[in-house]
Structure 1
Amino acid sequence: MSLGPRVALGLLLLAVAHSAANADRFILNLAPGAKQASLVAAIKAVGGSVSYFHAGAGIAVVTVPAGTTLPPGRLTSAGVGAVVPDSRIRLPSPRASSFRGATAATAAGDPASTSASEATPPSFPEPKLKATNLQFLSGPITSNPTDDLWDQQWAPRAIKAQSAWAAGVTGKCVRVAVLDTGMWWDHPDLAGRVDVDYARSFVDGIPPYADSQNYFWHASHVAGIVAGSANNGGIVGIAPEATIIPIKVLDNNAGDNSFLIQGLLYAASPLGPDGAGADIINLSLGGFGNPNDKNDTWALYNKVLNYVASQGVLVVAAAGNDALNLGRTRNTFVSPCENGGNTVCVSSTGPLDVCKTCQDDWINTCLESPSTWDLKQQLALYSNYGPSAISVAGPGGDYRSAFEWYAKWYDPATDSFLPGTPPTCWFVDQVLSVGAPNRPDLPAFIQYTGTSQAAPAVSGVAALMIHDAAVRQGVDLCAASRAGLKGRARGPLNVAQIKTALARGAVYPGGAVDREAYGAGLVDVSRTLGYPQPAWAAP
């Protein structure tokens, strides 16, 4: 059995077979030419039903009475090649630092919130935004963004995103599907960026705007990194005019493999009732699988991702936060990050005390805006790595400076900090983005660290690349009825072109080649697109 999808947190996971009260769910790997009618009849014969069938990808999901076995040989006549039990994983609640109220005493993060299985999930109102209402800038960004929290955002600076913005390249109308938890799209930094009309949930009984997590919504944070709106008072995403498609495949940081597979195929299908028409899919999630077992979910993901790539859709995936050398794990692969070379697998970099001039009064975060940033990057302590796995690196943040500060100033003999211990702004080394739904008891913005944050930065760079190519080729990505899609054109770059350009434009932190840590290097917008950094973009 493999692990199902998980938010990329690097925590110990428990995989269990999915089982509803009176039924079991299986994912079927179908042979070419398998017929839905034949499969429906075969599954009906054992008292089950087919809940999902995708002829193009050769995947089906079925539900049968609890305890029913489905050996592949029994279903060969219906075109079934492999039967894989749907599996589910559960996570401890994530840890993060809210933008207001974080102190050095909470360096490990806020207290873990109660899981949905232990308490009644919180009740969040339905979002006011009921239909897509995309909003765009009136022109290029010609100075530092006016957003209040821009001074706390080192990550866009580290990859020189301003070079594209100043040239009018903002990812406009590039469609980025975020397969993740629930997303609160009424947040001011997301409201004008989300295609509500094509939002979907593949989690039983929970809409795409809701989640059982009662503190931090992972999808909202990821979406803000990709495309948080510029010049509207909050934070700025890497591609601040890209379009986000929320596709819920996790709830309370857990999900079934069948949810993720259906979400991938929906995202990659042409725009319409059964497709989101995505250009890019961001997967800030993952699990472990066995590439040598054809009955493992790794084989299913490999097949699905082959299909997604064939549709011209780029998949960007987090490498994971286990500090593992993926090149030495032999028969264990991070899935879907390492599936068949069809994904951009992203490791994470972070700074070491990026904001040395910041001052922290232990109550409010970094009261003084920095005069300069120390943007030097290194592989984050938690990031997975390995030359055979990692494509490129993205800025995901780190907590190394917190450890160094603690080691220097904490006295274990007295269980206290030494006299004269200075305040620390270590949490600025994390990535700031959108927080929880709009409730007075929850932070509107939050700092968080992980390959979950590195991957959407790379997705944002890919969105800038597609927009830039469209402008150069005279393709209007916002226009209707092109390339056979209902409503818009497919992006002008194919998957191979994007992957090649990302690699060619990447740079190695410190200049020393380190493919094990960074693959081709840390993504660099200026080098990739050929636009110089504007004078106003100095750190």
Structure 2
Amino acid sequence: MKLKILLAVLALALAQLVPAASAEEAPRYAEGEAIVVMRGESGAPAAASAKNAAGQSLGLAEGSVIQYFNPIEERQAPANAAARAASAKSETLTVVHMRAPEGMTTEEFIEKLRAEPNVVSAMPNYIMQAQSVTPDDEHWGEQWGPEAIRAPELWERGTGSEEVVVAVIDSGVIYDHPDLAGNIYTFDDAAANAIISKNPDMLTDEVPLAGSHGAWFHSEISLLGLGTPHTGVPIGPQPTMQGDEDEQWYIDSGTMQEMSCIGDVEGHGTHVAGIIGAVGNNARGVAGINWKVRIMAVNVFSSSIFGGRAETSDIIRGIDFVVAAKRAGVNIRAANISLGGWFSPSEMEGSAYDYKIKELSDAGILVCMAAGNDGQDIDAPTDGMARGQRFYPASFRHENTLSVGALMRNADGTLAPDTPGNGGIGYSDYSSSGEWVDIFAPGTAIYSTCRTTYLLNRQTFDESGYISASGTSMAAPHVTGAAALLASLMPGKSASEIKQMILDGADGGTAREGFSRYGALDVYEAWNGFAEQVDTVEPDEEHESVTPIYAQIAKDETALSDIFSEGDLREYGDCLYLDAGIAKKAAMNVRADKTVEDIALFPVFTAQSEELSQTSLGAVAFEVGGDAFGDGAALADLAICKLFPDGTALEYKEAGEEPSDGTFTVTEADGGALAGPFDAGKNYIITLYIEDNGSYDLDKNTGSIVDPTAIVSFKKAETHGSSGGGCSAVSGAAALLALVGLPLIARKKK
């Protein structure tokens, strides 16, 4: 399919006569435009009903409307803007893209808007740049990033999940790239209809959203740099247009159907997507941090003689789309934003951009953002253009946002921040106080997927489909990929919990002091730090027929060699656990009529006492955090199980007045009886009663008990409709693989 160029012949011919512009010559914002947050009493239509609003007047500084964005509820306002919005009479704030009257400059327009009593904030329509550096030598194709963050060690526990969706807000994605196609998200009818019904003007109706892989929000750019926004267009699923070196394609002159097939206008977003989720273990190209994941392409870039550009207005539209998809039920766990620029905090803090990044964060999405490529200390930049400014959007600070600097790998294999004076390219921005950069991740010479053909003078392409590139653009998706991998292993964890795991697991010995708040990304330690052992405690036992035993956590596999075969056990956090595959198989054999949702696996323990020869029945006890049971869960939703190395299981039953082999009790750690659902903020004592050499004892030596135990959580019956929640072995396995990527966790206590 050829892209129509009839409307662009003159513009293209003129463009060829214009010398390439430097970054300093490129416009910083769309002249004569502003993005405004205002109180809703102006009578402006909501975004959902604003189809014909373009050109209308709101009576604000004599300007006219270009487009409306989705309104924002006041409670979602950034903290530093709350005071300005506190007196608003309506429940929502209107966000609108406006054009200045003829003859009025952007600065004059902004000044007049800010003087309006109903205006909360007004900012220029800034143009953001992708945060990548010129690609490195094509032969330097070594993929060192995953190993540097210790992803291979975590891949033993799981390599990702098709249930996890990541939004890549960038220049687009070549969705049919051979190394990405298997991991690209596709909208089904339900999600598409839910989005369109609540946002009827967000996307063109000429291209269906159902069956597409995301959406493109861009503007038609003239030679003067002015832009007119196109209606958002779903992208795919038809094959992407690739072009060839003899053609220059002017993307704004095609039909909506043709625009839907562009894929990636720069190649930048495709490189980012490959870092997050190039298909792994397929004997092709590279492996992403996630071998399995779903990438949602959100293209916010336009093209001009100045190269790729992302106007703030289009970024906001892209964010609105991601939030709408999340609200429609799409399981978006993380979003990557590898773009930005230097701007005044007084303009950015409390702006529409700030509101929208916060809205993305508040939606429960971990937002990972590139810290910038100017080699500046964001605390006190010395570059003339950056002095007195900060790098945005990475400097927006919200609950679920992360700012990411770039690491390089030295010749000796050690890692260091690629900042000025460290012997590398010296491009990565950093924060000497740690306030503006959270963490560093691999960013220099990162080998990943790219366009395979030339397009509009863009250089991020290679016939092989792979290229090495450097930048904080490459660092951010390592963190995004790590977040998605952790979400696949622990689907019940919130965005803020996964963020804290990433930060707590960081290597503080690298890129921390003077560079960031936490140091270098270590995804394995992020998981391993969470997989703490349960605490063994002395059983409080009054029955004469029971021997209370203080259990020991097994740490030496050789001491258990007569019980477990090679490969049955894995070591995590200096403790031994039953292998993941065995644990999954055993959990499925607990209750045939239930679907397993999660597993909290205890480390293997041993309990020894000479008194067992007299009583036979021993009691061992553990203190466990409430989140091991699931916040709000009841005993009916759980099973406490003994797992065998052959993949079978025995369920413990609640003990009566006289405990017996294979029974248990649960009490609150403060001594109170269990009353009501489990509370993640409390600790509980589980006491297991096991007969020496009985059915629940792996060790057949008298006086000693060995037992791997797990808490298995089941899906509640009402989530399965009228069928009652029954599942076959096949459906149970599917649920387990999708939702229990990491059964090997003994939940950390609160």
Q: TM-score, normalised by structure 1?
A: 0.65
Of 31, 37, 46, the match for 1:29: 37
Q: Give distance in 2, aligned partners of 1:14 and 1:350.
A: 29
2:430 corresponding residue in structure 1: 385
Match of 1:335 among 389, 392, 400: 392
CA contact (8 A) 2:127 2:310 kept: yes
Q: State yes or no: 1:246 paired with 2:303.
A: no
* Deviations, residues 281-311 of structure 1 (Å, cap 9, x unaligned): 1011111121224xx5773322222222221
1:302 counterpart = 2:359: no
Q: What secondary structure, in the 3-state scheme, does the structure 1 residue paired with 2:276 have? A: helix
Matched residue, 1:495: 495
- Which residue is 1:269 aligned to? 324
Is residue 132–residue 473 contact of structure 2 (8 Å, CA) maintained in 1?
Answer: no
Q: 1:12 to 1:529 in 2, by over 3 A?
A: farther
Q: Secondary structure at the match of 2:405?
A: strand
> Structure 1 pair 12/461, CA: closer, same or farther in 2 (3 Å)?
farther
Aligned partners of 1:91, 1:13: CA distance in 2, in Å? Answer: 16
Matching residue of 1:85? 124
Residue pairs, 1:132-171, within 5 angstroms: 152-171=142-161
Correspondent of 1:523 among 521, 524, 532: 521
Letter in 1 for 2:497: Q
Q: 1:280 to 1:212 in 2, by over 3 A?
A: closer
1:347/1:384 contact within 8 Å kept: yes
2:407 maps to amino acid: T
Matched residue, 2:695? none
* Cα distance, 1:460–1:513 mapped onto 2, change above 3 Å: closer
Name the residue aligned to 2:421: none
C-alpha deviation, 1:221, in angstroms: 0.2
Partner of 2:447: 432
Q: 1:92 to 1:497 in 2, by over 3 A?
A: closer
- Give the SS at the match of 2:476: helix
- Partner letter of residue 33 of structure 2? R
How do residues 217-232 of structure 1 correspond to structure 2 at under 5 angstroms? 217-232=267-282
Query: Where does residue 95 of structure 1 map in the other structure?
Result: 134
1:182 corresponds to 2:172: yes
CA distance in 1, matches of 2:130, 2:485: 33
SS at match of 1:383: coil
Alpha-carbon distance in structure 2 between the residues aligned to 1:504 and 1:388? 16
Q: Aligned letter for 2:271?
A: H
* Distance 1:176-1:12 versus aligned 2 partners, 3 A rule: farther
Shift of 1:465: 1.2
2-side partners of 1:523 and 1:326: how far apart?
20
Contact 1:208-1:246 at 8 Å conserved across structures: no
Matched, 1:72 2:113: yes
| Aligned partners of 1:171 and 1:465 also within 8 Å | no
CA 1:14 to 1:92, structure 2 compared with 1: closer, same or farther past 3 Å?
farther
Deviations 1:344-382 (A, max 9, x none): 0011111113xxxxxxxxxxxxxxxxxxxx531001121
Equivalent position of 1:461 in the other structure: 482
The aligned residue for residue 281 of structure 1 is: 335
Q: What's the counterpart of residue 347 of structure 1?
A: 405
Q: How many residues align?
A: 390
Q: Distance in 1 between matches of 2:406 and 2:462?
A: 31
Contact persistence 1:182–1:248 (CA under 8 A): yes
Q: Aligned pair in 2 of structure 1 residues 93, 163: CA closer, same or farther (>3 Å)? A: closer
With over 3 angstroms needed to count, the CA separation of the structure-2 counterparts of 1:318 and 1:89, relative to structure 1, is closer
Report the secondary structure of 1:520's partner residue. coil
3-state SS, counterpart of residue 454 of structure 1: helix
Identical columns (%): 25
Q: Which amino acid aligns with 2:215?
A: R
Map residues 92-131 of structure 1 onto 2, 5 A cutoff.
95-97=134-136, 99=138
2: distance between equivalents of 1:500 and 1:292?
A: 29
Partner of 1:367: none
Cα deviations across residues 100-119 of structure 1 (Å, max 9, x unaligned)?
A: 5x7xxxxxxxxxxxxxxxxx
| C-alpha distance in structure 1 between counterparts of 2:438 and 2:475, whole Å | 12
Q: Distance in 2 between matches of 1:75 and 1:194?
A: 45
Q: Is the 8 A contact 2:404 2:439 kept in 1?
A: yes
**1:95 & 1:238 partners in 2: Cα distance?**
23
- CA drift at 1:260: 1.0
SS at match of 2:69: strand
C-alpha distance in 2 between matches for 1:183 and 1:198: 9
What's the CA shift string for 1:394-446, capped at 9, x where partnerless?
1112xxxxxxxxxxxxxxxxxxxxxxxxxxxxxxxx11000213679734100
Measure the CA separation in 1 of the matches of 2:352 and 2:464. Answer: 38
Whole-Å Cα distance in 1 between the matches of residues 493 and 25 of structure 2?
37
CA contact (8 A) 2:312 2:353 kept: no
| CA distance in 2 between partners of 1:96 and 1:32 (Å) | 46
Aligned to 1:60: 96
C-alpha contact (below 8 Å) 2:511/2:520 kept by paired residues: no
Distance 1:432 1:209, change over 3 A: farther
Are the equivalent residues in 2 in contact too, given 1:13–1:90 (CA < 8 A)? no
**Structure 1 residues 228 and 43, CA, compared in 2 at 3 Å: closer, same or farther?**
same
CA deviation after TM superposition for structure 1 residue 164, in Å:
2.2
8 Å contact kept, 1:184–1:209? no
Q: 2:98 is aligned with what amino acid?
A: V
Task: Could you tell me which runs of 5 or more consecutive residues in structure 2 were left unpaired when the two chains were aligned.
Answer: 1-21, 74-92, 187-211, 220-229, 231-250, 252-258, 382-386, 419-425, 455-460, 532-570, 574-750
Higher strand proportion: 2
- Counterpart contact for 1:292–1:331, Cα < 8 Å: no
Alpha-carbon distance between aligned partners in 2 of 1:338 and 1:35, rounded to the nearest angstrom? 33
CA–CA distance in structure 2, aligned partners of residues 331 and 64 of structure 1: 27
- Give the Å deviation of 1:29: 1.2
Alpha-carbon distance, 1:171 to partner: 4.1
Deviations 1:258-295 (A, max 9, x none): 1112212221234478x9663211011111121224xx
Q: Which has the higher contact order (CA 8 A, sep 6+)?
A: 1
Structure 1 residue 320, shift from structure 2 partner? 0.8
Q: Aligned residue for 1:504?
A: 504
Q: Hey, what does 2:629 align to over in structure 1?
A: none
Q: Which residue identity does 1:185 align to in structure 2?
A: Y
SS at match of 2:297: strand
SS across alignment from 2:27: strand
Q: Is the 8 A contact 1:312 1:495 kept in 2?
A: yes
Question: Deviations 1:209-248 (Å, cap 9, x if unpaired)?
Answer: 53786xx610000000000001221100001211111111
Which letter maps to 1:495? A
How many angstroms does 1:506 deviate by?
A: 0.8
Check the 8 A contact 2:131/2:472 in 1, yes or no. no
Measured after TM superposition, the shift of residue 525 of structure 1 is 1.7
| Aligned residue in 1 for 2:207 | none
The alpha carbon displacement at 1:198 in A equals 4.3
